Copies of this chain bind each other. A is one copy, B any other.
């Protein structure tokens, strides 16, 4: 088991099967030593775990949990793209966290911390990343949160 998955297991997290590619895009695109992971929504067992804007329909804390779930889905997608070896992830470069927001909601950073903190719990210092967090009027499928990320990769031959 990779060190990354050992860290996930210590947190009680088992990676799901990654979602099948839909439409004309792919979950992960590798270019040089960077892996671009498509926007992930808080899907678990085929069901969105948080829908609608924050805070009128979903509390900031629940949205932070949803952001964490988006990261779990991103790691599952990365694992599949890296032939099962998450230890090829050298670190996380940039994370975009998009929060379905009511007008006037200013707590996107706390929601985004749900994503950022898990990456650091799992990857340590290498998980520290640049981040942009935004409030969106709506997100795909009605999700409350969407997370995309760029990971830096080690050479496959290492």
Contact = CB atoms under 8 A, between A and B. Distances in A.
A66 to B, nearest CB: 15
A132 B113 CA distance: 19
Residue of A28, A107, A138 with most partner-chain B CB within 10 A: A138
Contacts of A112: 23, 25
Please state the number of chain copies in the assembly. Answer: 3
A99 to B, nearest CB: 8
Given A29-B129, A36-B130, A129-B29, A138 B104 contact: yes
Interface in A120-152: 120, 127-142, 146, 148, 150, 152
Interface stretch (A3-11, A12-20, A88-96): A88-96
Interface of A: 22-29, 31-34, 36-39, 53, 91-96, 98, 100-109, 112-113, 116-117, 119-120, 127-142, 146, 148, 150, 152
13 contacts: A23-B117, A24-B128, A25-B128, A28-B130, A29-B91, A29-B129, A31-B33, A32-B32, A32-B33, A38-B130, A106-B142, A109-B141, A137-B137
Given A23-B112, A25-B116, A31-B34, 19 more contacts: A23-B109, A24-B117, A24-B128, A25-B112, A25-B129, A25-B130, A26-B129, A28-B130, A29-B93, A29-B128, A32-B34, A36-B93, A39-B134, A96-B132, A102-B138, A130-B148, A132-B148, A134-B139, A135-B137
